[in-house]
Amino acid sequence: MSSITVQSEETLATGTGPLNGYVVLDLTRALAGPHAGMMMGDLGAKVIKIEAMGTGDDTRGWGPPFVGPEDQRQATYFLSCNRNKQSVALNLKDEEHKAKLVELVRHSDVLMENFRTGVLDRLGFSVDVLHELNPRLVILSITGFGHDGPESHRSGYDQILQGEAGLMSITGSGPEDPQKVGVPIADLLSGMYGAYGALAALLERESTGRGQVVRTSLLASIIGVHAFQGTRQTVAGENPKAIGNHHPSIAPYGLYSCSDGKVQISIGSEKLWQAFAAKFGLPTGDPRFASNSRRVENRAALNELIERSFSAFAAKELLRELDAAGIPAGKVRSIEEVYEWEQVESQGLIVEVEHEVLGRISLPGPPLRFFDAATSKETTRTAHTAPPLLDADAADVDRWLENRKMGRP
């Protein structure tokens, strides 16, 4: 079992990531769990992805789009959440395969699973069994509605939880137009919370010597980011509703039309408001706009004045003027434009990997960067591996496992 508390200067220099030496056993599928596993892999952990024999992770079949030769089509959905992993296919109802999983459990630091509540128990891998096999194992369990409670039995799918957890009611052009977020945000957030919890459990293990169970859910992840919309209800007694592309508590703050497109502005302080109003000829002395709360109350009238002023500008020119005045502003980029943006490339947010079927491909990159405090040298993991083909790493993992059983690294 791995237990690494301090990395050597030599290790830091390689850019392998702060979790180099830790082992994650990823039994998850679809998106929430795989995203958590990918985060751990991005941080340098060895991530062994256990997939169903024959079919693999559900997302291998989620498309279009598919890419690659006709006889080896690859789903871009799968490619989005499985970099820096190894794939091993097992049938968890087969005794020989279960025995292999037992050995993997013995030599792992974290096990991730997102089965429906009770499934892992029925397969013979309850929490008690897992901790009997490996007392230091951290177990991350992700469910849809939570592992207990009156609705724990329900299957959790992202869009259903976006609705059930209130997110769709505050997203859209208005109260009668509930909209989902453009990515599976409940899945992604529960993966992020899950990885965060697993890391905390690993840290605690350094003092206790024991692993523990970390549980989160799609329901919890959405409620966890209700932020000020949540306290509007719990404290102020308001029931928030969707209001489109404008902030419910700050004005002006949102999306505005100009002569040839749209721009976004964020006026988050009175100082910014004064500078913005002076720049674009807005009435600073009007009592309707005397404070942020008054501007929120009179948002419609204020927005009309702003768009009347902005109508004299093309978007590119307007963004220049806003920048010169120190006003936070931006355009609405397409996804294509984002990945062509030099700033995105400069932050390491695009990585290139060599895929066994597709050759060299670009993937959205990890969002974290690390720097050694003493030298300021970047220690972020820079060498990434492509999402694996199904069962592609079975032989490598067998060799690694045999070495571990023999006490070799």
Q: Which token pair is 50?
A: 């256990």
* Half-sphere exposure at residue 387, Cβ-oriented, CA atoms within 13 angstroms: 25
Annotated catalytic residue, options 26, 42, 187, 393: 187
CB environment 229-253: b (16+ within 10 A), e (fewer): beebeeeeeeebebeeebbbebbbb
Distances (CA, A) of 231 to 163, 193, 224, 227, 246: 19, 20, 12, 7, 19
Pairing verdict, β 213-217 and 138-143? parallel
Q: What angle do CA 356, 362, 363 make, to 5 degrees?
A: 100
Helices (H) and strands (E) in the chain, counts: 17, 13
Rg (CA), the chain: 25
Which one, of 265, 267, 260, lies nearest residue 315 by Cα?
Answer: 260
Residue 261's contacts (CB-CB under 8 Å, 6 or more residues apart) are 314, 315, 331
What is the distance between the alpha carbons of residues 121 and 218, in angstroms, rounded to a whole number?
21
396 given a catalytic annotation? no
Distance CA 134, CA 131 (A): 5
Q: What are phi and psi of 88, to 5 degrees?
A: -130, 125
What DSSP character marks residue 74? Answer: E
- 108 is written with which tokens? 């792992």
Q: Are 382 and 13 in contact (CB under 8 A)?
A: no
DSSP string computed for 231-259: HHHHTT-------SSB-SSSSSEEEEE-S
Q: Which residues are catalytic?
A: 187
